[in-house]
Amino acid sequence: MFDFHEKRKIRSWLYSKTTIVILFILAILLSFSVYERFVVERKVAEKRAEREGDLLRLEERAAALEENIEHLESDRGLEEELRSRFDVAKEGERVIIIVDSDEENVTKTLPSSRKEHKRSFIDRLKFWE
């Protein structure tokens, strides 16, 4: 019988309003803590996704640079790069300059009289026509 009365005391203490309020407050505090951890985890997951994207882009760039380095290490690649950046020619090569010989341009640039010279000067000012 003592056991029955002891259980009844414990049960009355556990189901009291004070105990329920205290447990409810603890549950609310724990839920705030869990929510804060959830927010932090989301931020960390976003940053990780960004960093993985950055890493992927950097790996692609590194691969492209490696290919470019391999291309430049060959004689042909070096020659192509030099010719594309600078106007160079090998020994024995000749450079050809192609000039458009339009007779109309020649007469405009070399006026035969003063009137044509004035007209060509005015024509030059009227670049919008």
Helix and strand numbers, DSSP H then E, in the chain: 5, 0
Task: Count Cα atoms within 13 angstroms, Cβ side, for 41.
Answer: 6
Token representation of residue 121: 């000067």
* pLDDT recorded at residue 100: 76
pLDDT tens digits, residue range 23-41?
Answer: 999 999 999 999 999 999 9
Dist CA 8 CA 78 (whole Å): 94
Residue identified by tokens 């993985």 is 52
Domain borders along the chain are 2-88
Please provide the DSSP assignment of 92-121 as one string.
T----------HHHHHHHS-SSHHHHHHHH
pTM above 0.85, yes or no: no
pLDDT digits (tens, 9 = 90+) for 80-97: 888 888 877 778 877 677
